[in-house]
A = this chain, B = another copy of it.
């Protein structure tokens, strides 16, 4: 039988760059560029709650790191390294190998070395804990509380697909095979917007990554900044797979819920002065990433969303709460 130490040696002991002490000592060590601050974030992912038991382990390895890198992106930090805590009911070597593949592929892409962690047997389901470190100039970190009155509100990429895929897989809405195929990648292989976050340090005021739903996450920016906002539904960037579907396949209220309150998006929502529009369009083009201006920040508190006919939507869908659902 494979022991904890063999597991680490076989699957989680790739060499790391000089100056970093990889797994195998009591602590991992890493250096920080003098004058910069360390940005760090941690996420707990539990089987049956944050991922389905039969998920492809490669995509799970990718996503476990991606959701953490997304937090570095939201603050504009450059990734330095990460730690992985892994609780497994039993060691299925093929599963662990594929999980490690997905994890390392994304880590390599962002120069985010796996420098340490913890493995243990779980008596319940699979338990994942990932912690990431990055570095950022003290004055340039993108904070939630820095939105300004009159700022444009932007969101990167598209909205809605991850929520629709998740709800079909969970059985909340009827499964449509071609729609599931077209949306599943958004749920299982989210792209952390690290490069965008780096660029935004010089152009945006406040930023957050959309993990719990656009309304709820933008709400955090507004609450922290003591401001309100108005959004225009017609400007929301709908995922292509959700366009031009019959009402039977995708009822309008389900689409609205997915766009405004669907979680697991990992796009950046940020605010910037209108004077930055031209520059932001250049950045979007350079990154091959759609950036959509969806509304604006205003002094009056509250979050107001207007539909296609410019009528105020009265019953906004509720956001995601980790304890409520």
Contact = CB atoms under 8 A, between A and B. Distances in A.
A50 to B, nearest CB: 7
Interface stretch (A97-105, A121-129, A290-298): A121-129
Interface stretch (A131-139, A155-163, A181-189, A241-249): A131-139
Contacts of A208: 26
Interface string A228-241: 00000000000000
Contacts of A40: 27-30, 83, 115-116, 131, 133
Interface residues on A, range: 35 or more
Interface stretch (A54-62, A71-79, A171-179): A71-79
A85 B46 contact: no
A223 B144 CA distance: 47
Query: Which of A27, A40, A86, A125: most chain B CB closer than 10 A?
Result: A27
Contact of A39 (B24, B28, B131, B323): B28
Contacts of A91: 323
Interface string A35-68: 1011111111010111000000000000000000
A170 to B, nearest CB: 13
A134 B49 CA distance: 32
Interface of A: 1-5, 7, 21, 24-32, 34-35, 37-44, 46, 48-50, 70-72, 74-75, 77, 83, 85-88, 91, 115-125, 127, 129, 131, 133-134, 136, 138, 141, 143-145, 207-209, 224, 321-324
29 contacts: A1-B323, A1-B324, A25-B224, A26-B70, A26-B74, A27-B39, A27-B40, A27-B74, A27-B77, A29-B39, A31-B37, A32-B38, A34-B34, A38-B38, A40-B83, A41-B83, A41-B116, A42-B85, A42-B117, A44-B86, A44-B118, A44-B129, A46-B122, A49-B122, A50-B120, A91-B323, A119-B323, A120-B322, A127-B127
